[in-house]
């Protein structure tokens, strides 16, 4: 088959996944929710209200701030920054402003965009932080500005030191490293603070229902509702939607072939966004129905776990397709794939989180609660 046919095949395959999921979401939304809400709103008598089941029961706890809420804010902010960067880069690439044959151009564009998207990161994280009744927006902005880039920069620095040790010409020169740090602290960090300030100035997001003082007990959950199990299941579909395209991207990065079909990539990216959002909403609904209200982190990790599959696939690719024998080359491969997986985790997790956030607010604002 020619490449194009494979791409079309992969897109049709992904669209099937998306249609299946959309069908499920639509079913849940229409049938179940409509029925639930009309039933809940009819329960006027006190005796019946005592015997409610399902997601309405946890209305007093569903918007209780999670543990480690600061970290969640930071990751959501970073994810928004990443999403903005990827979207703008892809739109430019689709319209042909960025040629993939100019390797450096794509990378430079992405870095510059990343730096300028800092303002959105600060805004998103401080909005969420204020909703969790946080007060120190400067602290949260600083964390947002430094956590993800710090970890990536540390890995990158170690990898670069390895290449220097090999006296290779492929190492990033010291001047460039310095320029990166200046860009990070000179442009990105101030922009995150600006975004944080704007976001914190805005009135806090109101919860549709009041939170109880005392958290209710979570009943015993079935084995398939175990957090680890459902998180791992949630990552399979978003990964399944993109993995054929992933093969081409890995080949173009590691086997020196050029990747020209950004139109396909854009389509696959949109499919990925939809899949992440939908699988998280479905699993979140089941979770709330079994009266488990700890959805904040779980929604982030459900779609974020596709990054784990990405890394496993990269490992599989390394052993089957690449003939790398040197230790340093192997370490480089895994280091860079680790960075890529981490970025993918932040991106997909944020999409899942926002989808869930929208979904819970929607369903809880539509039931009457005395």
Summarised one tens digit per residue, pLDDT across range 272-326 is 998 899 889 989 988 998 888 899 999 999 999 999 999 999 999 999 988 888 8
pLDDT digits (tens, 9 = 90+) for 212-245: 888 888 888 888 889 999 999 999 989 988 888 8
Residues 192 and 289 in one domain: no
Residue 185 or residue 3, greater confidence: 185
Residues 260 and 186 in one domain: no
Residues 229 and 357 in one domain: yes
- For residue 216, being part of any structural domain is answered with no
- For residue 318, being part of any structural domain is answered with yes
Report the number of distinct structural domains present in the chain: 2
Classified as helix, coil or strand, 216 is coil
Domain boundary among 141, 174, 203: 203
Query: Nearest CA to 290 among 57, 34, 78?
Result: 57
Its pTM stands at: 0.89
- For residue 176, being part of any structural domain is answered with yes
- For residue 63, being part of any structural domain is answered with yes
Residue 9 or residue 132, greater confidence: 132
Question: Which residues, including other chains, have CB under 8 Å from residue 26's CB and lie 6 or more apart?
Answer: none
- For residue 121, being part of any structural domain is answered with yes
**The CA-based dihedral angle spanning residues 265, 271, 273, 274, taken in that order and rounded to the nearest 10 degrees:** 170
Quick one: average pLDDT of 201-218?
A: 88
Residues 259 and 194 in one domain: no
Quick one: average pLDDT of 57-80?
A: 92
Residues 166 and 259 in one domain: no
Residues 188 and 286 in one domain: no
Residues 239 and 269 in one domain: yes
- For residue 212, being part of any structural domain is answered with no
In this predicted structure, the answer to whether residue 45 has a pLDDT above a threshold of 70 is no
Residues 194 and 234 in one domain: no
Structure confidence at residue 148 (pLDDT)? 95
Structure confidence at residue 362 (pLDDT)? 87
Residues 152 and 276 in one domain: no
Take residue 152 and report the two structure tokens written for it.
Answer: 């990536």
Residues 198 and 256 in one domain: no
In this predicted structure, the answer to whether residue 50 has a pLDDT above a threshold of 60 is no
Query: Nearest CA to 206 among 355, 59, 365, 370?
Result: 365
In this predicted structure, the answer to whether residue 156 has a pLDDT above a threshold of 50 is yes
pLDDT band at 199 (very low <50, low <70, confident <90, very high): very high
How deeply is 234 buried, as exposed, middle or buried, from its count of CB atoms within 10 A (0-12, 13-18, 19+)?
A: buried
Question: How far is CA 210 from each of CA 58, 64, 214, 365, rounded to the nearest angstrom?
Answer: 11, 9, 12, 11
For the ranges 94-98, 133-137, 189-193, 194-198, the lowest mean pLDDT is seen at 94-98
pLDDT digits (tens, 9 = 90+) for 72-119: 999 999 999 999 999 999 998 888 887 766 767 888 889 999 999 999
Structure confidence at residue 34 (pLDDT)? 75
In this predicted structure, the answer to whether residue 30 has a pLDDT above a threshold of 50 is yes
- For residue 8, being part of any structural domain is answered with no
- The range of the structural domain enclosing residue 166 comes to 58-203
Rounded to 5 degrees, what are φ and ψ at 299?
-65, -35
In this predicted structure, the answer to whether residue 336 has a pLDDT above a threshold of 90 is yes
Structure confidence at residue 1 (pLDDT)? 45
pLDDT band at 49 (very low <50, low <70, confident <90, very high): low
Structure confidence at residue 301 (pLDDT)? 95
Residues 189 and 243 in one domain: no
In this predicted structure, the answer to whether residue 127 has a pLDDT above a threshold of 70 is yes
Residues 365 and 227 in one domain: yes
Quick one: average pLDDT of 19-34?
A: 78
Residue 83 or residue 3, greater confidence: 83
Measure the CA–CA gap between 293 and 65, rounded to whole angstroms: 11
- For residue 1, being part of any structural domain is answered with no
In this predicted structure, the answer to whether residue 60 has a pLDDT above a threshold of 80 is yes
């Amino acid at each position: 088959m020619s490449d194009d046919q494979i791409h079309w095949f992969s897109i049709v395959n992904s669209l099937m996944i998306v249609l299946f999921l959309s069908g499920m979401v639509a079913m849940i939304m229409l049938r179940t929710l409509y029925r639930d809400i009309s039933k809940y709103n009819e329960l006027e008598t006190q005796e019946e209200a005592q015997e409610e089941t399902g997601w309405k029961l946890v209305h007093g706890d569903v918007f209780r701030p999670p543990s480690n809420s600061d970290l969640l804010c930071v990751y959501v902010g970073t994810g928004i920054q990443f999403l903005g960067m990827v979207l703008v880069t892809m739109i430019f690439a689709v319209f042909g402003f960025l040629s993939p044959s100019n390797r450096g151009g794509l990378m430079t564009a992405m870095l510059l965009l990343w730096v300028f998207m800092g303002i959105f990161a600060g805004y998103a994280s401080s909005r969420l932080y204020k909703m969790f009744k946080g007060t120190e927006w400067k602290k949260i902005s600083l964390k947002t500005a430094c956590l993800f880039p710090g970890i990536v920069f540390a890995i990158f620095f170690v990898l670069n030191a390895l290449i220097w040790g090999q006296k290779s010409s492929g190492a990033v020169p010291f001047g460039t490293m310095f320029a990166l740090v200046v860009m990070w602290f000179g442009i990105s960090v101030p922009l995150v603070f600006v975004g944080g300030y704007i976001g914190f100035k805005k009135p806090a997001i109101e919860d549709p229902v009041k939170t109880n003082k005392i958290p209710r007990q979570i009943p015993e959950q079935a084995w398939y509702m175990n957090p680890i199990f459902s998180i791992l299941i949630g990552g399979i579909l978003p990964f399944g939607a993109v993995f054929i395209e992933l093969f081409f991207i890995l080949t173009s990065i590691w086997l020196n072939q050029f990747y020209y079909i950004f139109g396909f990539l854009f389509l696959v990216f949109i499919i990925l966004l939809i899949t992440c959002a939908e699988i998280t909403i479905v699993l979140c609904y089941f979770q709330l129905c079994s009266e488990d209200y700890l959805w904040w982190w779980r929604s982030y990790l459900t779609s974020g776990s596709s990054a784990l599959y990405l890394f496993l696939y990269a490992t599989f690719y390394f052993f089957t397709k690449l003939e790398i024998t040197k230790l340093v080359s192997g370490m480089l491969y895994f280091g860079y794939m680790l960075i890529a997986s981490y970025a993918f985790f932040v991106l997909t997790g944020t999409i899942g989180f926002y989808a869930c956030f929208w979904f819970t607010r929607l369903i809880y604002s539509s039931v009457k609660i005395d």
